[in-house]
Amino acid sequence: MIIDLTQIQPGETGIVKEIQGGRGIVRKLQSMGLRPGKKITKVSSHFWRGPQTVEVGNIQIAVGFGMAKRILLEVKR
């Protein structure tokens, strides 16, 4: 099942399948370690449209809601 980062619950893991957007957003997310093929775990999210915190390897990254909507994950439920 392919969904965006905002739709998974804290504690769930998924594999990044695609980052939708232009070169700028793709480059920015790749520099933070979010690349297609990487396994990530959602750590937390805020109630409405706040930042989404994910764990990639040993680091935690906070991604804004707009960017998180552009990160497509493959999740097994």
Which whole number is the average pLDDT over 17-40?
A: 95
CATH T-level topology, domain 2-74: SH3 type barrels. (2.30.30)
DSSP state of 68: H
Query: Model confidence over 45-59: pLDDT tens digits?
Result: 987 889 999 999 999
Token code pair at residue 14: 């998924």
Which whole number is the average pLDDT over 37-47?
A: 93
Tell me the pTM: 0.91
Q: Give residue limits of the domains in the chain.
A: 2-74
Q: How far apart (Å, rounded) are the C-alpha atoms in residues 36 and 34?
A: 7
Per-residue pLDDT, 47:
79
Query: Model confidence over 25-35: pLDDT tens digits?
Result: 999 999 999 99
DSSP state of 49: S
Q: Which of 56, 37, 42 is nearest to 12 (CA)?
A: 42
Q: What is the mean pLDDT of the chain?
A: 95
